[in-house]
Each structure stands twice: as C-alpha cells, then as structure tokens.
Amino acid sequence: MKNSCLSKWRILARRFSAVATAAGAAFLWIQLSGCAVVEPYQREKLSDPIMDSGNSIAKQSLEAKFFSTREGSFGGGKGVGGGCGCAK
Amino acid sequence: MIRNLSSLFSPLRFFLAVAFAGHPLAADELSYTTYYFGDNSQNSVFTSSISISKTVWRSTLVLMDVELDQISLPPILDGVSGASRPQRQEGQVYRKNRGQVILGVEQGLGSDTRVAASVYHSEEADYLSRSLIGSFTQELFKKNTTFFLKGQYSLDSVGEIPRVGNLVYRFKEVHQAGVALTQLLSPVSWIRLGYDGMRQNGFNSDPYRHLRVNTAPGAAMPIYEETREAHPKIRFRHAAWGDYAYSFADLDASVLLHYRYYWDDWSIDSHTFGLRGNKYVTPNWIISPEYRFYRQGAANFWRENYSSENSMPYLTGDYKLRDFDSNNAGLGLTYLFKGMAETRPSLDFLLGCSLSLKYFRYFNTLDFYADVIEGRLLFNF
Amino acid sequence: MAGHGRAILQQREYGGAVKIIGIASGLLTCLLLLPAAISIHASQLQPAPAFDLPHLYNDSLFGPHDFKGRAVLIDFWATWCAPCRKSLPELEKVAARHSGATVVTVNLDGDKGKARGFLKGKAQAMIPLYDGKQIAAKAYAIEGMPAAFLIDKSGNLWKRFDGYTENTLQEMEAELEKLMLE
C-alpha cells in the first residue's frame, strides 16, 4: 500500500517536473532565440480585439462553467498579457 | 449508460471564481451577458449576468459581478437516473435558481505590477460556495513578457434535500493555484504557457446520484441494488496548457490555437485542442468560427456495470469520469460600435463598446448534445 | 557629532514606533504613491531628438525646431490605445488653457484615416502630426503608450511621462506652466 502510494507520488512528481521543464525550456528558448522586442508603439495588431484570447464573444467564465460541468477536466486558457501593453 | 447530466451546476462551482481571478480587470467596463443552454435530455439553463469594473482612485480598480441562473430539469421517468435533483420532487419538472456575487479589488503598483483580490459567494437551495481569490501580475521586458500567478481557497457546502426531513450538508475544501506566462513573439503574434493545479478535499460525489450494483452476478436474472456513488475524498488535478495567437494583418484576420493536457490522481487524463478564427467582414463586424475537440480517459474506479462480485471501495455514476470524446463547433458575431462613434461626436461614449452573439453546439460520443446561445453587451466608459 | 548622538538616542527610544511607522509608510508608499510616480526626470538636459513629421490633415512638415522659444508638450498616441483615447480630449483642454505653449500630438496608427476620424473636432488648439513609420517614436525611445515629453524653450528634453492617469495630467500641466515661466 505504502509502495503504491509512493509510486503514485513519483509518477505525479515526474509528470509535474516534465511539464515544468517543458515550460521553462520554452520560456528560455523564447528569451534566448533572439526574439525581437516588440516596442509599445508596434502593438496595433496585438491590441486588436481579434487577438484577444478572452474575446470568446461571451464571458469566458460561462464557457469554463459549461465545459467543467460536462467533462472531467479543468483549467487552461487563463492568463493576461499579449495585448496593447498600454500604460494607464 | 448514464447519460443524463450528472449535475448542471452543483459540482466545481468555483470555476466561475477561478475565471474571475484570471480575468484581467479591464478598466471602467460595464457588461451584460445572457446565456441559454438546452440539451437533448430537456435540461435547460438561463443565465443573466452584470459585471462592472471601475477605477475609483489612481490605480485602484473595483469589480462587482452579479449572476443569476434559472435551472430547469425534466421529471425523472425511472427510479434510477444520473440526474442530479432532489428525489422529493422526482415526479415533476424541477426548477431552481442560483445567485452569485463576486466583489474584487485590483491595485496597480507602478506601471508593471498589479495585485488583485476578490471574494466569491454563490448560493442556491442545496449548494453554497464561498471563495477567496488572489492574483499577481508582473510585466517584464517592456511589457513583452507577462507573468501571472493566482491562488484560491474555496469552501463548498454540498447540500442534499432528502425525501423527508431537513437539508443535509457535506463539505468540500478546494485549494487552487495557477501560473501563466505570456510572451510577445512579434508585432503580430504571442504565445502563452500555463499550469493549473487543484486539490479537492472532502465530499467529491453528487448527493443525489445513485447507481445500480448487480448483487447476483452469474445468475440468469440480475438482481440490482440501488446505492449511492462513493468517490475518493482527495483529488489532485493538474492542467498544463498553451495558447498561440497570430494576426494575418493583410487579411484583417487572426487565428488562435489552444492545447491542454490534463491529468489527475484518479487516473483521468485528457487532451483538448481548440481552434478559433476571427475575421473582420466589415470594419465593424467580426465573424468568429471555432472548433474544439476533447478526448478523455476513464477514472480507475469507473465501470460500465458494477457487481458485488468484485467489490470496490469507490463507485461512480458520473459519466464525466468515463472515457469519451466531445466536439464543439460554434460561430460568433461581434459588432463594434466604434464606427458609429467615429461618425457622430455625440456618440463618443460608444467607442469601446461592442455587442456579441454566439451559437455553439456541443456533442459527445455518449449520445449527448446541447445547444448554447450567448449574448453580450459591453460598454467601456 | 552631538546631533548624531542625539539621533541615535532618539532612534533607540522610539525604535519600535519608528519601525512600525516606517513599515506602514513604506507599504502606503507602495500602495498609493508608486502608481502616480510615473514621470522620470531627465538627469541631464539633452536636446530633444529632431524629426520632421507631416501634419495629420495636410503635407506641411513640423519638428521640435519649429517651436523653439516656446514650451512644448509632445504626446505620442494611437487610436488602438485606450488610455491614449482618454488623454487626448484632456490634452486639448490643456492646450486651450495655455496658448503660450505648444501641444503637439503624434499619431502612430498604421492607417491615418483612423486618427483623423477620432480627432474630428477634437484638435483645435493642438497640432496633430502623423508618424505612420514610427520614426519619431523610435527616436524618443517610447516605453509605454501614451508617452508624453516636455521640451523647454531651448529645445531640451525636460521630462517624460509614460502612461496616463488624472495625476499625470495634473503633473504635466504644472510642469508645462513652470517651463512657460522660465
């Protein structure tokens, strides 16, 4: 019982570290691959409503509710940034 | 096969609050959203929601959201069903209302840092949910990179209206954390990577859902005994996901891609692929077709049929814990009022306003389908 | 030296209270003052970067050299930037109140027509310029939108403001008045 519990934790830890490593590697790749800095005045297209992931036409939370009450999963798709970058 | 909706709104109420914790509070915004859901089992939900966010002083923003749901479930036709409803009223259409309030405040600390906190309360006849949510946003490298962190604590009181007697409550605690990193890749593209984790501790079942266990396995005529479902008390859930957006500047169009991998310690894992296109058909109208595919594996204790022969500590009547695929296809239409505002100076206040309509059909491999219509009116002031 | 000794003594006597007040005021500063502290004072006065940009409504070219001898406020904006849209009507009022100074707006939209549509009837006292190729924006090393720069009568960069709040506007106007008097 103890062993199976331990191995379950090991699997979880391995999966988590794999995800964390992938995310870290992706971030480093983005930062180091010479991605040009996008200046604040170059964000006309990025600030357009059609580039907003939250612009799922209706409120995102209603869709999150819809899927989470009909499927066994959760999470994903929430975050900020990527838009105008304007300073208010 | 249990294909009825296990519950329209009872479990995982906190997703709403999560959505808000992750929602970048747009300054000075008022929105009204309405939503209609109807499925092939005659379940329906009608939702109305009003949100307002307003800068009250310098970089302090307050948010309030009020939402009301009207839920209607059909009469249960047979004695055993997956439908989540009090057995007391099983012979008639069951209607109930649900109310929800979110109050939040967001504080800017300099031009690159924001912290937000909100409280969430949701209430209906047999379910109570309360949450505390906090988030932290840090802009880096001239706002080319955005780091977002959120945390949440929820306490749910899962009620049961018994056949006779008073309401019985059981409890569930939920801890949740999420992190997301958004990176601008070019003046026309960005990528976002994130991870969400959740630990549920407590009553993870549906109090009304019953299932049948064959107590005479091997016999010519099975003998069924009705029993309640029993889920493990603890559930660890994880989701790693990524979004990518690209603008086709010359076409006045964009494409957004989404992928999510989910896994939990009940052995469920799933893959979600999403694709959305947006296209300006005129300077003020945006058309947005979208498609989503979902595939999940079953929980290790899920069985099509339970029998007393192989007795198990956990039993479930929840179709969400079995393996299935689902598809979701929709079409959205958005009207931007800016054209109207630009031509008439007296309508200046409509500049950041929009009206959106969306229809989508959801269907899965369990013979379930649903139609959803959403409408939203947004004012920026 | 004696004064220094007294200070140490006082610090010991009131150490606890000072710490609490210090922490509290530090937190308050973080919460309240930092959001407003968005202007950066130029440590050394440098000539404002030169440019020649066309007027939004005609082909006449303008640059900082045209306004020498006057206090100048240059505001970089775009129609896709919400705080910029909020700031422009207020800047027009500032320009109308200070006829002795010059308020120049530099639009950075890809499509000039959008800026024209938005500014219709709103730029009577300001001078609207167009920088579709973002040459001036680059020269001024803009770090946020909107971005405003104050230029003194000698043509030197005096102060920069990144972003817009009511506070920024008040500070901007006060500095502009100071420059006009110099």
| Whether the predicted pLDDT of B247 surpasses 90 | yes
Query: What is the residue-averaged pLDDT of chain C?
Result: 80
Q: Does B280 touch chain A (CB under 8 A)?
A: yes
Measured between CB atoms, which of B142, B188, B374 is closest to A58? B374
Q: What are phi and psi of C142, to 5 degrees?
A: -65, 135
What is the DSSP secondary structure assignment for residue B308, as one 8-state letter? G
Q: Does C117 touch chain B (CB under 8 A)?
A: yes
pLDDT at A60: 62
pLDDT at A23: 65
- Contact state of B20 with A61 under an 8 Å Cβ cutoff: yes
Angstrom CA distances, B211 to B2, B339, C12, C177, stand at 9, 57, 72, 79
Query: What is the residue-averaged pLDDT of chain B?
Result: 86
Cα–Cα distance between B217 and A6 in angstroms, integer? 35
Q: What are phi and psi of B93, to 5 degrees?
A: -65, 130
Element (H, E) at C39: strand C39-47
- Contact state of C82 with A39 under an 8 Å Cβ cutoff: no
Interface TM-score (ipTM) > 0.90:
no
| Whether the predicted pLDDT of B19 surpasses 60 | no
Query: Chain A contacts of B280, Cβ < 8 Å?
Result: 50
Q: What's the pLDDT tens digit per position in B127-165?
A: 899 999 999 999 998 889 999 999 999 999 998 888 888
Structure confidence at residue B41 as a pLDDT band (50, 70, 90): confident
Cα–Cα distance between B146 and B141 in angstroms, integer? 9
| Whether the predicted pLDDT of B34 surpasses 70 | yes
pLDDT at B344: 75
| Whether the predicted pLDDT of B96 surpasses 90 | no
Q: List, in sequence order, every beta strand (DSSP E) within chain B.
A: 29-39, 44-57, 60-73, 94-109, 113-124, 127-140, 145-160, 168-186, 189-202, 210-214, 224-228, 234-248, 253-264, 269-282, 285-296, 306-307, 324-336, 354-364, 369-380
Which pTM value belongs to this model?
0.82
Q: What is the pLDDT along chain A (88 residues), one digit of tens a residue?
A: 455 556 666 766 666 666 666 666 666 665 555 556 899 999 999 999 899 876 443 456 777 888 888 899 988 866 677 778 776 6
Q: What is the pLDDT along chain C (182 residues), one digit of tens a residue?
A: 344 444 444 444 445 554 554 455 444 444 433 333 344 454 578 899 999 999 999 989 999 999 989 999 999 999 999 889 889 999 999 999 999 999 999 999 999 998 998 888 888 899 999 999 999 999 999 988 999 999 999 999 999 998 887 788 889 999 999 988 87
Identity of residue B104? G
Pair B376, B32: CB distance under 8 Å: yes
Query: Chain B contacts of C36, Cβ < 8 Å?
Result: 58
Question: Residue C21, exposed/middle/buried by CB under 10 A (0-12, 13-18, 19+)?
Answer: exposed
| Whether the predicted pLDDT of B322 surpasses 90 | yes
- Interface probe for A, chosen from B152, B193, B251 (most Cβ of A below 10 Å), is B193
Cα–Cα distance between B317 and B315 in angstroms, integer? 7
pLDDT at A32: 54
Question: Residue B244, exposed/middle/buried by CB under 10 A (0-12, 13-18, 19+)?
Answer: middle
Measured between CB atoms, which of B58, B342, B380 is closest to C35? B58
CB atoms within 10 A of CB A15: 15
Q: What is the DSSP string of A11-63?
A: HHHHHHHHHHHHHHHHHHHHHHTTPPP--GGG-TTTTSGGG-TT-SSS-HHHH
* In the block, residue with structure tokens 């297209």: A45
pLDDT at B26: 52
Average pLDDT over residues B337-349: 78
Residue C70 C-beta-side C-alpha neighbours within 13 Å: 16
- Contact state of C121 with B345 under an 8 Å Cβ cutoff: yes
Nearest residue in A to B249, CA atom: A45
What is the DSSP secondary structure assignment for residue B109, as one 8-state letter? E
Pair A50, B287: CB distance under 8 Å: no
Angle of helix C166-181 versus helix C82-97 axis, rounded to 10 = 30
Q: Does C134 touch chain B (CB under 8 A)?
A: no
CB atoms within 10 A of CB B308: 13
| Whether the predicted pLDDT of B214 surpasses 80 | yes
pLDDT at C9: 40
